[in-house]
Amino acid sequence: MLAKRIIPCLDIKDGRTVKGVNFVDLRDAGDPVELGAIYSEKGADELVFLDITATHEKRKTLSALARKIAKNLNIPFTIGGGIGSVADAEILLESGADKVSINSAAVRNSALIEDLAKRFGSQFVVVAIDARQVAEEWMVHVSGGRKMTDKKLFAWAKECADRGAGEILFTSMDNDGTKAGFANTALAHLSDLLNIPIIASGGAGTMEHFHEVFTEGKADAGLAASIFHFKEIEILDLKNYLNEKGVVVRV
């Protein structure tokens, strides 16, 4: 059985790590390069860095940030935000990123997923999907959660996998920042539907929530931000807890 992964996520705005609730009310959480180095030392399996305003503000994620991060880490990291072409992704991968994450650009041009997978391999391509429930339907949102699309979560995730995505990073916008638990029913359905790893995001508040997301939600990785940034849960403590509960993790 593959080990479940614990992944701190660093949302970046104007070069700083920020965290909000339901994608709004952002507050500063520190320097992303420094935080990344700390997480690398404290047992994180991977890291995700997302420039949350890059698409909205029509900026590109700076390759300089990727280079700084790469110099300070000994674990894999994914970087995303404003990636709209194979050339954008290539710059970040050459700068030291292990994977790239695309979101809004994939919705606008789904062929980009195939282009990236063919150029770099599926293992380098993470498709991030932000969705919230609207009239009992999980609807996909883009531009940092600002715009609702006509795409439905499960059909879109299946298309992404079919086009060559190596992983799906699903964030429940309803759960994001609430610390009330992950959207486990939706996650379990995604896991049953797809044959690629699912990274769960949105709602982590306790160690029990991670146990639930790996058992009830069938997720391959659990991603969280504020509980790690503000030291509410230490990663090694979490891994020891999960290990005692019978969840396979790298300790």
Please list the active-site residues: 11, 130
- CB-CB neighbours of 246 under 10 Å: 9
Q: What is d(CA 17, CA 101) in angstroms, rounded to the nearest whole number?
A: 17
Question: Is-contact 5 222, C-beta < 8 A?
Answer: yes
As a whole number of Å, the CA-based R_g of the chain is 16
Token pair 């990344």: residue:
36
Q: Is 228 helix (H, G, I), strand (E, B) or coil?
A: helix
Q: What is d(CA 157, CA 160) in angstroms, rounded to the nearest whole number?
A: 5
Closest CA to 40 of 14, 75, 64: 75
- CB-CB neighbours of 91 under 10 Å: 18
Q: What is d(CA 213, CA 187) in angstroms, rounded to the nearest whole number?
A: 8
